[in-house]
Structure 1
Amino acid sequence: MNTRHLEGKVVAVAGATGPAGRATLRRLAAAGATVIAADIDAQNLEAATDAVRREVPGARISGQVIDLLDPQEVHDWADHLEAEHGHVDGVFHLVGGWRGSKSFFESRIDDWDFLHDRVVRTLQHTSLAFQPALVRSQAGRYAMISASAAHKPTAGGAAYAAAKAATEAWTLSMADSFKKETTAPDGEPTAAAAILVIKALLTPEMRAEKPEAKFTGYTETAALADALAGLWDRPAAELNGQHLWLTAR
């Protein structure tokens, strides 16, 4: 594979300071992309982008403090990025969060409220804001991280499974929009929205802390980052609306 296969691509990463975000920033920068990292915490964002600059010589990366719960702020950010760079080729929604309970009866509606805002609402805002730019891109890609729990909910995970299922449905609607709003001469979509499905993430720190643990079904953050960077290796028509399972079904 060409190690700089994302040269010329402009990619925005929402939720950039978590473990998945940091791994993805490094992977995209190493592949030559211009990366815009977004998070609400300015200090964590600066630390994440500075780390990429140290680890990836010549990295083209910048940070943007964004409140993803403010739809106008997200729309303004999308417009600014397209105006500044001329195109936006990728948007990755890596905003995470988990709430659960010991039993179904003990499920708390305020857990749903938290996940609705953090997981669902932020995805709605980024997808709506960036969809027009991704349609205009020569190779637009939108990706979210879902969980196997959305496909097999547990009694105590109702709020989490429902939130992930909602984001999947929303993303599939975006994928349908790409089918209908393509500008390719052959009628094929040039943009794609994909859902990456994991059980849970495995960070290098977790592995170091428990080197003998098997972490069955977990997806390493580096493997997730590789999968995201590889979205441009597949035609949009083949990728659009697909679930990409990074754990056993």
Structure 2
Amino acid sequence: MVRNGSLSGAVIAVAGAGGPAGRATLLRLAEAGATVVGSDNDPERLAEAVDAARYAHGGAAVTGDTVDLLDLQSTQDWAARVERDYGRVDGLVHLVGGWRGSETFVKSSLDDWDFLELLLIRTVQHTSLAFYDGLQRSDRGRYVLISAAGASKPTAGNASYAAAKAAAEAWTLAMADAFRKAGGEQGPHSAAAILVVKALVHDAMRAERPNAKFAGFTDVKDLAEAIEGVWSRPAAEVNGNRLWLTEKP
């Protein structure tokens, strides 16, 4: 059975729960005692992630919901469903990711931008708008975006990716300002924070490339631990801040 942990009683939604980072996050949040509701656009991958979390932590309250995060109404329905079913929502962890790049700047494809704008920006817009009110109603609401160091120092071949990540950060910081203003003189009780990594690595990647060093990469287990830690810090301390898990560029 799951013991009472740092997140006992919390209800946390995880967008993009079917990938390696999502799996690690479901496990960590469940271990900390949270009720976790994962979403992904791949029902099979999501079911595997949810089952893994349940198996690893007997008694863990982990469920999955197939959601089209590119559709605002679908995302709003998910947010309303979470709050209706569990009586509250204390967090949204945004793990939706993807990458496209080019050999040189002039070879940048605007088709890549179109793809990344939807995946990395539109999904952030939809989840933040859908969950804002519920997180504001919580006494420990947190919106957590995972971003990349490249957003602060774009490289020639990563123009579309870096620009999309930077836009997602700006949108999240605007959400943080809304939390700040809503808190008034007492300060925010809910927060929007950005965790910044160079890139992520997991066990399967290491197995495929046993000689690779993955210098500066963040293991998905360490990312999950950092995500949990956002709730252990005061809202005013994390709201509107980039929390670096790698060296600043």
Task: Give the TM-score normalised by the residue count of structure 2.
Answer: 0.96
SS in 2 for 1:124: helix
Question: How far off is 1:68 after superposition?
Answer: 0.2
The structure 1 segments of at least 4 consecutive aligned residues displaced by more than 4 Å after TM superposition are none
Question: How far off is 1:163 after superposition?
Answer: 0.3
Aligned to 1:209: 208
Aligned to 2:236: 237
Aligned to 1:198: 197
Distance of 2:231 and 2:69 partners within structure 1: 25
* Larger deviation, residues 202-211 vs 116-125: 202-211
Query: Any residues of structure 2 matched to 1:1-249 within 5 Å, and which?
Result: 4-182=5-183, 187-249=186-248
Question: How far off is 1:208 after superposition?
Answer: 3.0
Distance of 1:135 and 1:178 partners within structure 2: 7
Does the Cα contact within 8 Å between 1:176 and 1:241 map onto a contact in 2?
Answer: yes
Does the Cα contact within 8 Å between 1:135 and 1:182 map onto a contact in 2?
Answer: no
Distance of 1:221 and 1:6 partners within structure 2: 19
* 1:117-151 alpha-carbon deviations (Å, 9 max, x no partner): 01100010000000000000010000111101101
Question: How far off is 1:180 after superposition?
Answer: 1.1
* 1:161-214 alpha-carbon deviations (Å, 9 max, x no partner): 00000000000000000011128xx61211010001011101012223334432
Structure 2: which 5+ runs fail to align?
A: none
Superposed CA RMSD? 1.3
What amino acid sits opposite 1:133 in the alignment?
G
Task: Give the TM-score normalised by the residue count of structure 1.
Answer: 0.96
The number of residues matched between the two structures is 246
Does the Cα contact within 8 Å between 1:16 and 1:38 map onto a contact in 2?
Answer: yes
Distance of 1:235 and 1:96 partners within structure 2: 27
Distance of 1:210 and 1:162 partners within structure 2: 29
Structure 1: which 5+ runs fail to align?
A: none
What amino acid sits opposite 1:221 in the alignment?
V
